[in-house]
Structure 1
Protein backbone atom coordinates (compact mmCIF):
# COMPACT_ATOMS: atom_id res chain seq x y z
CA UNK A 1 0.00 0.00 0.00
CA UNK A 2 1.53 3.39 -0.96
CA UNK A 3 2.29 5.84 1.81
CA UNK A 4 3.10 9.55 1.58
CA UNK A 5 6.75 10.34 2.13
CA UNK A 6 6.88 13.07 4.77
CA UNK A 7 10.63 13.66 4.63
CA UNK A 8 13.02 14.73 1.91
CA UNK A 9 15.77 12.39 3.18
CA UNK A 10 15.24 8.64 3.42
CA UNK A 11 17.34 5.71 4.63
CA UNK A 12 16.73 2.00 5.00
CA UNK A 13 16.43 0.26 8.36
CA UNK A 14 19.67 -1.55 7.47
CA UNK A 15 21.50 1.75 6.92
CA UNK A 16 20.06 3.12 10.16
CA UNK A 17 21.20 0.04 12.13
CA UNK A 18 24.75 0.30 10.72
CA UNK A 19 25.27 3.91 11.78
CA UNK A 20 22.32 5.74 13.39
CA UNK A 21 24.29 8.95 13.98
CA UNK A 22 25.41 9.16 10.34
CA UNK A 23 21.78 8.65 9.28
CA UNK A 24 20.68 11.57 11.48
CA UNK A 25 23.52 13.74 10.17
CA UNK A 26 22.56 12.92 6.56
CA UNK A 27 19.31 14.78 7.20
CA UNK A 28 21.22 18.03 7.90
CA UNK A 29 18.94 18.83 10.84
CA UNK A 30 15.74 17.75 9.11
CA UNK A 31 13.55 14.69 9.60
CA UNK A 32 14.74 11.41 8.03
CA UNK A 33 12.26 8.74 6.95
CA UNK A 34 13.43 5.24 7.81
CA UNK A 35 12.13 2.70 5.32
CA UNK A 36 11.42 -0.98 5.80
CA UNK A 37 10.64 -2.85 2.55
CA UNK A 38 10.26 0.52 0.77
CA UNK A 39 7.59 1.71 3.21
CA UNK A 40 8.13 4.33 5.95
CA UNK A 41 8.62 2.48 9.25
CA UNK A 42 9.34 5.56 11.36
CA UNK A 43 10.74 9.06 11.20
CA UNK A 44 14.04 9.98 12.82
CA UNK A 45 13.89 13.50 14.24
CA UNK A 46 17.02 15.28 15.50
CA UNK A 47 16.72 16.59 19.07
CA UNK A 48 16.82 20.28 18.08
CA UNK A 49 14.07 19.78 15.50
CA UNK A 50 11.95 17.85 18.03
CA UNK A 51 12.28 20.72 20.52
CA UNK A 52 11.18 23.16 17.80
CA UNK A 53 8.11 21.01 17.09
CA UNK A 54 7.18 20.89 20.78
CA UNK A 55 7.54 24.69 21.03
CA UNK A 56 5.34 25.07 17.95
CA UNK A 57 2.67 22.82 19.47
CA UNK A 58 2.78 24.87 22.70
CA UNK A 59 2.30 28.06 20.68
CA UNK A 60 -0.69 26.55 18.85
CA UNK A 61 -2.30 25.45 22.11
CA UNK A 62 -1.79 28.92 23.59
CA UNK A 63 -3.33 30.52 20.49
CA UNK A 64 -6.39 28.25 20.79
CA UNK A 65 -6.75 29.21 24.46
CA UNK A 66 -6.57 32.90 23.57
CA UNK A 67 -9.25 32.46 20.89
CA UNK A 68 -11.54 30.67 23.36
CA UNK A 69 -11.11 33.41 25.95
CA UNK A 70 -11.84 36.08 23.36
CA UNK A 71 -15.07 34.27 22.47
CA UNK A 72 -16.10 34.25 26.15
CA UNK A 73 -16.81 38.01 25.97
CA UNK A 74 -15.17 38.69 29.30
CA UNK A 75 -14.31 42.32 30.09
CA UNK A 76 -11.04 43.51 28.59
CA UNK A 77 -8.09 44.29 30.84
CA UNK A 78 -5.28 46.62 29.81
CA UNK A 79 -1.78 45.33 30.41
CA UNK A 80 1.75 45.84 29.17
CA UNK A 81 4.99 43.90 29.40
CA UNK A 82 7.73 45.54 31.47
CA UNK A 83 11.05 43.77 31.81
CA UNK A 84 9.53 40.40 31.02
CA UNK A 85 6.65 40.82 33.50
CA UNK A 86 3.02 41.56 32.76
CA UNK A 87 1.88 44.80 34.41
CA UNK A 88 -1.86 45.41 34.56
CA UNK A 89 -2.89 49.01 34.05
CA UNK A 90 -5.36 50.61 36.42
CA UNK A 91 -8.44 51.97 34.66
CA UNK A 92 -8.67 54.78 37.21
CA UNK A 93 -11.71 53.35 38.90
Structure 2
Protein backbone atom coordinates (compact mmCIF):
# COMPACT_ATOMS: atom_id res chain seq x y z
CA UNK A 1 0.00 0.00 0.00
CA UNK A 2 1.32 3.44 -0.89
CA UNK A 3 0.41 6.66 0.90
CA UNK A 4 -0.81 9.61 -1.17
CA UNK A 5 0.25 12.94 0.29
CA UNK A 6 -2.50 15.03 -1.27
CA UNK A 7 -6.25 15.36 -1.04
CA UNK A 8 -6.50 15.84 -4.80
CA UNK A 9 -5.53 13.32 -7.45
CA UNK A 10 -5.59 13.20 -11.24
CA UNK A 11 -4.58 10.56 -13.75
CA UNK A 12 -1.42 11.18 -15.72
CA UNK A 13 -3.49 11.03 -18.94
CA UNK A 14 -5.79 13.80 -17.72
CA UNK A 15 -2.81 15.82 -16.49
CA UNK A 16 -1.07 15.59 -19.89
CA UNK A 17 -4.18 16.95 -21.64
CA UNK A 18 -4.10 20.26 -19.77
CA UNK A 19 -1.59 20.64 -16.90
CA UNK A 20 -2.39 24.33 -16.39
CA UNK A 21 -6.07 23.57 -15.83
CA UNK A 22 -5.21 20.91 -13.24
CA UNK A 23 -3.12 23.41 -11.25
CA UNK A 24 -5.78 26.12 -11.63
CA UNK A 25 -8.62 23.79 -10.57
CA UNK A 26 -6.63 22.77 -7.48
CA UNK A 27 -6.94 26.34 -6.17
CA UNK A 28 -3.54 26.34 -4.49
CA UNK A 29 -3.59 22.78 -3.18
CA UNK A 30 -1.14 20.07 -4.17
CA UNK A 31 -2.23 17.43 -6.68
CA UNK A 32 -0.97 13.85 -6.84
CA UNK A 33 -0.59 12.75 -10.45
CA UNK A 34 -1.26 9.04 -10.64
CA UNK A 35 0.13 6.47 -13.05
CA UNK A 36 -1.66 3.11 -12.75
CA UNK A 37 -3.28 4.36 -9.51
CA UNK A 38 0.10 5.06 -7.89
CA UNK A 39 1.60 8.52 -7.31
CA UNK A 40 4.04 9.34 -10.11
CA UNK A 41 4.66 12.92 -8.99
CA UNK A 42 3.04 15.90 -7.31
CA UNK A 43 2.29 19.28 -8.78
CA UNK A 44 1.88 22.47 -6.78
CA UNK A 45 1.14 26.12 -7.50
CA UNK A 46 4.01 28.62 -7.41
CA UNK A 47 2.58 30.07 -4.19
CA UNK A 48 2.55 26.68 -2.43
CA UNK A 49 6.07 25.95 -3.68
CA UNK A 50 7.24 29.27 -2.19
CA UNK A 51 5.63 28.37 1.16
CA UNK A 52 7.29 24.94 1.14
CA UNK A 53 10.67 26.48 0.26
CA UNK A 54 10.31 28.95 3.14
CA UNK A 55 9.51 26.14 5.57
CA UNK A 56 12.48 24.13 4.32
CA UNK A 57 14.81 27.12 4.70
CA UNK A 58 13.52 27.63 8.23
CA UNK A 59 14.24 24.02 9.16
CA UNK A 60 17.73 24.25 7.69
CA UNK A 61 18.40 27.43 9.67
CA UNK A 62 17.06 25.81 12.85
CA UNK A 63 19.40 22.85 12.34
CA UNK A 64 22.38 25.18 11.85
CA UNK A 65 21.53 27.18 14.98
CA UNK A 66 21.15 24.03 17.07
CA UNK A 67 24.52 22.67 15.92
CA UNK A 68 26.23 25.97 16.67
CA UNK A 69 24.62 26.20 20.10
CA UNK A 70 26.27 22.88 20.97
CA UNK A 71 29.69 24.48 20.52
CA UNK A 72 28.95 27.74 22.37
CA UNK A 73 31.15 26.64 25.27
CA UNK A 74 34.19 26.88 22.96
CA UNK A 75 33.32 30.44 21.89
CA UNK A 76 35.92 33.14 22.39
CA UNK A 77 34.72 36.61 23.34
CA UNK A 78 36.15 39.46 21.28
CA UNK A 79 35.43 43.18 21.08
CA UNK A 80 34.65 45.02 17.88
CA UNK A 81 37.91 46.93 18.26
CA UNK A 82 39.86 43.66 18.08
CA UNK A 83 38.29 42.81 14.75
**TM norm structure 1:** 0.73
**Higher helix share goes to which structure?**
2
Whether 2:5 is the aligned partner of 1:10: answer no
Match of 2:21 in 1: 22
Alignment TM-score, normalising by the size of structure 2? 0.81
In structure 2, C-alpha distance between the alignment counterparts of 1:41 and 1:68, rounded to whole Å: 36
2:58 — aligned with what? 59
Can you give the 5+ residue segments of structure 1 that lack an aligned partner in the other structure?
78-89
Q: Which runs of 5+ in 2 are unaligned?
A: none
Runs of 4+ with deviation above 3 angstroms = none
Q: Which has the higher contact order (CA 8 A, sep 6+)?
A: 2
Question: Per residue, is there more strand in 1 or in 2?
Answer: 1
Q: For each residue in 1:1-41, what CA deviation from the matched residue of structure 2 results, as whole angstroms up to 9, or x when unmatched?
A: x2101000000011101111111122210110001111111
**Contact 1:5/1:40 (8 A) holds in 2:** yes
Distance 1:39 1:26 in 2: 21
CA RMSD across the alignment? 1.9
